[in-house]
């Protein structure tokens, strides 16, 4: 069995807090502290928005904390880019994004000549591939034809235990939350054509700050909750409410019934406290109707 602690959206800036003045370092420390008794972990995956301001300093702060957690367990830690990240600073702080327990780089870039942060490494016979859905300056994600071709070339050779694919933007639509369509991966069908019939066992994503699941080309897609804040989907569907409460997931890949996913929540006396409420159609703060 392979067991992964899946984090996303740490949003640590060079100075610590995110743009909403949430203490991002405290949120990350809280979920790592409360995940310390999760047994049998083989890796930690952070699926993007590592640094809220795209800085190398923010990436290093996350790397240091997640790396210390991983080093205590002798397991690798793996990162992908999100829309808040910047490729240069990400590569400066995290290299390929695939790090050994001691912090050394264990990843192989899918295209060493490209600026894209896409790489592969192995957990035993399980392949982990991170791809780069970052569109600089935009919230949504996109995978260009070159990166999709690199991914297809990598997946053309199957592995004994299959592949875990990691990216930031979910290749999903959620009909009950209309704002989600504007922020997820734009070319979902293109990724579906590449992974269909491959050995990909699951696709791990983040970005939405709440847990969700679905399928792409018959492959389970998992969206892990955010670390810095979570989105409270009990708000009216046209509004977006962010609240305190760090989350994460445990992903198990074992028998034919796998993968299985379950969410973790950090113990926080302020969990659920509202951080923001806004209307994505106007980009302005909103007042919830009574």
Residue 290: is its pLDDT beyond 80? no
| pLDDT tens track for 215-266 | 999 999 999 999 999 999 999 998 999 999 999 999 999 876 789 999 999 9
Mean pLDDT of 62-68: 98
Domains in the chain, start-ordered, CATH in brackets?
A: 2-285 (3.60.21.10)
**Which pLDDT tens digit goes with each residue over 174-187?**
999 999 999 999 99
CB burial of 176-201 (b: ≥16 within 10 Å; e: otherwise) equals ebebbeebbbbbbeebeebbeebbbb
- pLDDT digits 0-9 by tens, 31-46: 999 999 999 999 999 9
Residue 289: pLDDT over 70: no
pTM over 0.85: yes
C-beta neighbour count of 254 within 10 angstroms: 11
Q: What pLDDT sits at residue 39?
A: 97
pLDDT of residue 259: 96
- Write down the pLDDT at residue 1: 87
Answer yes or no: is pLDDT of 288 > 90: no
Task: For residue 66, report the phi and psi dihedrals to the nearest 5 degrees.
Answer: -65, -35
Cross-strand bridge partners of residue 79? 46
Tell me if 80 sits within 8 A of 132, measured CB to CB.
Answer: yes
At 89, phi and psi to the nearest 5?
-60, -35
Residue 281: CB atoms within 10 Å: 12
* Mean predicted confidence (pLDDT) in 76-99: 98
């Amino acid at each position: 069995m392979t067991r992964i602690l899946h984090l996303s959206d740490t949003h640590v800036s060079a100075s610590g807090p995110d743009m909403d003045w949430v203490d991002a370092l405290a949120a990350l420390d809280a979920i790592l502290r409360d995940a310390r008794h999760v047994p049998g972990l083989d890796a930690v995956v952070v699926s993007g928005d590592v640094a809220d301001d795209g800085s190398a300093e923010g990436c290093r702060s996350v790397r240091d904390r997640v790396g210390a957690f991983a080093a205590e367990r002798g397991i690798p830690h793996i990162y992908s880019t999100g829309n808040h990240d910047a490729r240069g600073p990400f590569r400066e702080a995290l290299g390929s994004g695939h790090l050994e327990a001691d912090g050394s780089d264990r990843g192989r870039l899918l295209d060493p000549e490209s600026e894209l942060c896409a790489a592969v490494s192995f957990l035993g016979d399980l392949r982990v591939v991170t791809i780069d859905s970052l569109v600089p300056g935009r919230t949504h994600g996109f995978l260009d034809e070159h990166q999709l071709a690199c991914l297809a070339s990598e997946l053309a050779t199957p592995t004994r235990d299959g592949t875990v694919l990691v990216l930031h933007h979910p290749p999903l639509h959620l009909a009950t939350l209309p704002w989600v369509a504007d922020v997820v991966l734009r070319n979902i069908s293109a990724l579906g054509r590449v992974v269909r019939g491959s050995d990909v066992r699951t696709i791990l994503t983040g970005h939405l700050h709440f847990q969700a699941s679905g399928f792409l080309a018959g492959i389970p897609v998992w969206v892990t909750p955010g670390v810095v804040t979570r989105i409270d989907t009990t708000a009216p569907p046209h509004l977006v409410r962010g609240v305190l409460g760090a989350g994460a997931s445990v992903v198990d890949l074992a028998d034919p019934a796998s993968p299985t996913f379950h969410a973790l929540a950090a113990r926080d006396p302020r969990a659920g406290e509202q951080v923001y409420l806004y209307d994505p159609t106007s980009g302005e703060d909103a007042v919830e109707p009574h």
